Amino acid sequence: MKLQQLRYIVEVVNHNLNVSSTAEGLYTSQPGISKQVRMLEDELGIQIFARSGKHLTQVTPAGQEIIRIAREVLSKVDAIKSVAGEHTWPDKGSLYVATTHTQARYALPGVIKGFIERYPRVSLHMHQGSPTQIAEAVSKGNADFAIATEALHLYDDLVMLPCYHWNRSIVVTPEHPLAAKGSVSIEELAQYPLVTYT
């Protein structure tokens, strides 16, 4: 059994069982297609197509099932070629990135712009969610990687790599008691009401 034979039987169905039209569409000969279809039928021991003389009249019940599976096989073959193409040409393909709203809004716009300029043939897809949601997206294979600051440690199947440092600062008025300190401990900070992002 050859992929070419599967492609031929699918294309014959796509061309309404007209082998001549199929041959034209595939830039090959009508006898060549007929021969390959017969060889496949002989190998399988069943008829894929019913015939009247030299003409194909309909797809047999077994043939319908074979055609369905052949379409799936050819689709998988195309998917394999696509994966190979992305690895052969790393500057072309799709990239799925999961991140939080904060990262997407404040940390990544410049990075995204630079990436698009450098890799114009890569289709970049950004997905936003909570830290837990984006970690889960990577864990389930729905994203290639995530950019986050928390929750990734909850997933044993993920590898965490540092990519940049995020400085957290305390903002107070010049008159505030903490303004005169060079550094502030968590215990000292906890004595005052706080406003922070969530």
d(CA 71, CA 162): 44
**79-87: long-range contacts (C-beta < 8 A, 24 or more apart)?**
none
Please give the CATH architecture assigned to the domain spanning 91-147. Answer: 3-Layer(aba) Sandwich (3.40)
Segment 141-161, tens digit of pLDDT: 888 899 887 766 677 777 878
Pairing state of beta strands 145-147 and 93-99? parallel
The residue-averaged pLDDT of 78-102 equals 82
Does domain 3-84 fall under CATH 1.10.10.1100? My reply is no
Instruction: Please name the helix (run of DSSP H) or strand (run of DSSP E) that holds residue 41, with its range, or none.
Output: helix 30-44
Listed residue (153, 164, 158) closest to 103, CA to CA: 164
Segment 98-142, tens digit of pLDDT: 998 888 888 889 999 999 998 888 889 999 988 888 888 888 888
Domains 3-84 and 91-147 in one fold: no
Q: What is the dihedral of CA 123, 129, 131, 132, to 10 degrees?
A: -110
Task: Answer for the pair 23, 32: CB distance below 8 angstroms, yes or no.
Answer: yes
d(CA 96, CA 124): 6
Indicate the domain borders of the chain: 3-84, 91-147
d(CA 28, CA 7): 13
Instruction: Please name the helix (run of DSSP H) or strand (run of DSSP E) that holds residue 34, with its range, or none.
Output: helix 30-44
Cα 85–chain centre separation: 13
Kindly indicate the confidence band of residue 198, based on its pLDDT and cuts at 50, 70 and 90.
low
Segment 33-57, tens digit of pLDDT: 999 999 999 999 999 999 998 899 9
* 88: amino acid identity, one letter: T
